Chain A
Amino acid sequence: MNKIKEMDMLFGTNKPIIGMLHLKPLPGSPIYDGQGLSKVIEAALKDAEALVNGGVNALQVENFNDPSYFPNEAPPESISALTIVAYEVKKRYPNIPMGICLLADPEGSIAIAHCVGAQYIRATFFTEASVDVSGLVTRLPHAILRYRKFLDPSIKIIADVHIKHSAPLGQRPIEEAAYDAAYFMADAILISGKHTGMPTNIEDVKKVKKVLPEFPIYIGSGVNSKSVGELFEYADGAVCGSTLKYDGISTNDVDEKRVVEFMKVVEDIRKK
């Protein structure tokens, strides 16, 4: 079985759509409101309900509102808070596959995923040392892979290459970066545009797919009902945030109507 089918099985469909749960600011975040976690949980459950009712295939829990992000290791208050919110979502939707994205700490994400029973993590940086707004991001895939083996080998890693809001230190074609991430045991590759919500360049997707035809390539930003058709000629799935929200704005709540409409377009593509 190739990796694409393996991931399709995890999500229960081909061309899976992963719905983003962008959490409200968590304790310690520069924009945290000091009101405790109950409102954060409430908002996450509300978004989760809209995403699940609308038919997405997985939920990805991310501390999106804790900018700027710790470049290598997240602090314990973020781990604790994300654990609680993910736990509450998992309790409500035990049968929906879940991913954890603790920005930007893959080991912390693996720890949380194991405890709450999530199936995968998204590693925003995996095999690329990069510069982003927080400074140098020097990911250690050797440590991440050993930590996964040590704690829970069942957890999949969806890894970004040339991720938005950053520049890789090694300037080379995206397909070479993607090939390395796959070679060094990522379970899927995520390709994004320049910023959250911005379109992913179809040429990037084509180039990566050409070198990794049997490997799952997912779209990480800017997918919408207009672009998904063309992107899915090459890509095997997508992580969707902004486009499923009211007015397509990343900081708004999830709009169930938009989810339904988007998933209808995806369903039609899957049947082809």
Chain B
Amino acid sequence: MKVFEEMFGVKIPVIGVIHLLPLPGAPLYDGAKVQEISERAVQDAKNMADNGIDGLIIENFGDKMFQKTLGPETVAAMTYISKDIKSEVNIPIGICALQSDAISSIAIAKAVEGSFVRIPYYVETSIVDAGTMESVAASALRYRKYLGADIKIFADVHIKHSYPLLQRPVEYAAEDCYNRGMADAVIITGRKTGGDTNPDDIRRVREALPELPLVVGSGVTEENVDNYISMVDAIIIATSLNFGGKVEEEPDPSKISSFMNKINRLRLNQK
């Protein structure tokens, strides 16, 4: 798909997630200097980039429970760290400010010259552990225009850890996300971080919307990637590339390069 080839320079790019340690202000923050948190994130980012990953999402994963709107301490810390990563790796980066703060994500991406944002709750209203998440598409699109930001929006539908109020087939949600919400790409996930994405969900969206830039967003492994590769335009991956396949561990260079070798072989077979 054009949006991905232009941004990442390859077909079916693999986008790794940099799970940041708890940032200042978060319940699990341990008092580390932002500089130290940043050093670890930069190391993970280099590890991924050096072993062939095509792009990165920087996410405040350690800040649970997440806030709907970031405090200034999180905006400042994510900016600081993303800036460090951007100057140390040569692949496109994107921002994901959890829970789903599209405005802060776009602001940070603009400041650090990021290429995209991931917005978990974009055109749906969902029930989650934090309460009700509402559609942010209207304000996100206007804010992007206001800032004059050339930043792509990758938006989830039926995202993991949530229950959409409007119970309808995933392909209907994807269609609204793309056509009405004007997302630049739509992400499909399983039920939780690291959990398998149902290949049938991907298939239904693909068949209904052949022109949609489609991303598989959770649970991809070296073993199961064959189930998705012929149907998706990009892959978001983190957990299965870590040591022991555990979300809290660091990325394992040998797993990354092995995964990327397989992807490079599979890419040759794709049209």
Contacts and interface: CB of A to CB of B under 8 A. Distances in A.
B79 A84 contact: yes
Interface stretch (A17-25, A50-58, A114-122, A222-230): A114-122
A107 B24 contact: no
12 contacts: A34-B148, A76-B104, A77-B107, A77-B147, A79-B75, A80-B107, A108-B72, A108-B76, A110-B72, A114-B24, A115-B76, A117-B35
A77 B72 contact: no
B75 A114 contact: no
Contacts of B146: 28
A189 interface: no
Contacts of A108: 72, 76
A75 interface: yes
Contacts of A75: 103, 107
B111 A87 contact: no
Given A77-B147, A79-B79, 4 more contacts: A76-B103, A111-B77, A115-B34, A116-B80
A221 interface: no
Interface string B131-152: 0000000000000001110000
Interface of B: 24-25, 33-35, 70-73, 75-77, 79-80, 83, 103-104, 107-108, 110-113, 146-148
A76 B79 CA distance: 10
Nearest to A34: B148
A76 B104 CA distance: 6
A114 B147 contact: no
Interface in A31-78: 34, 36-37, 74-77
A81 interface: yes
Q: Tell me whether chain A's interface is mostly helix, strand or loop, or mixed.
A: helix
Nearest to A116: B80
A27 interface: yes
B107 A115 contact: no
B98 to A, nearest CB: 15
Given A77-B147, A80-B111, A111 B72 contact: yes
B73 A151 contact: yes
Contacts of B111: 27, 37, 77, 80-81, 83-84
A112 interface: yes
Contacts of B83: 83-84, 87
A107 B148 CA distance: 26
Given A76-B104, A87-B83, A111 B71 contact: yes
B222 to A, nearest CB: 36
A76 B25 contact: no
Contacts of B104: 76
A116 B113 CA distance: 19
Of the listed residues B33, B72, B147, B148, the one surrounded by the most CB atoms of chain A closer than 10 A to its CB is B72
A151 B25 contact: yes
From B77, B103, B104, B107, residue with most partner A Cβ within 10 Å: B107
B76 A79 contact: yes
A134 B104 CA distance: 23
